[in-house]
Amino acid sequence: MRTFPTTRTVLMAVTLLLPGAMSPARAAEAEVSILRVATATELQQAFCAADPTVEHILVLPAALFVDSEELVCPVGPYKLYRIIEHDDPDDFEYYLDPPFGTAGRLGCDGKAGRSMTVIAVNCRPL
């Protein structure tokens, strides 16, 4: 039986290991924001207000990706969806795709076990 780390464990590991994995000069340059949301409304507010020039880790309920929703931000609509990993049917791949061709946007993706209720996706400037 597989066990998965709790959200708190994942966040602590990211917080502790990310800066330590780089040289001090690179760690000072790197800027990563962790956004935690629980509802679609919180996602709309936090994500649309996020700085599109820095990396973000978005921690949110997996259920927000179930119905292929759109997240409408000032730069345009982002599409939230998930797909079953064809090589590993126990996992979902999660995407928050930005509007095509728009400057100042974030692209997000992640992978998590199908039974996980809270997931984290990595968002990077495009």
pLDDT digits (tens, 9 = 90+) for 25-82: 444 445 789 999 999 999 999 999 999 999 999 999 999 998 878 999 998 999 999 9
Which pLDDT value is given to residue 42? 96
pLDDT digits (tens, 9 = 90+) for 70-117: 999 998 999 999 998 778 888 999 999 998 887 889 999 999 999 999
* Number of helical (H) and strand (E) elements in the chain, helices listed first: 3, 7
- What is the average pLDDT across 13-36? 57
Which pLDDT value is given to residue 99? 86
Which pLDDT value is given to residue 56? 96
Cβ neighbors of 112 (< 8 A, separation 6 or more) are: 4, 62, 91, 92, 94, 119, 120
Which pLDDT value is given to residue 100? 84
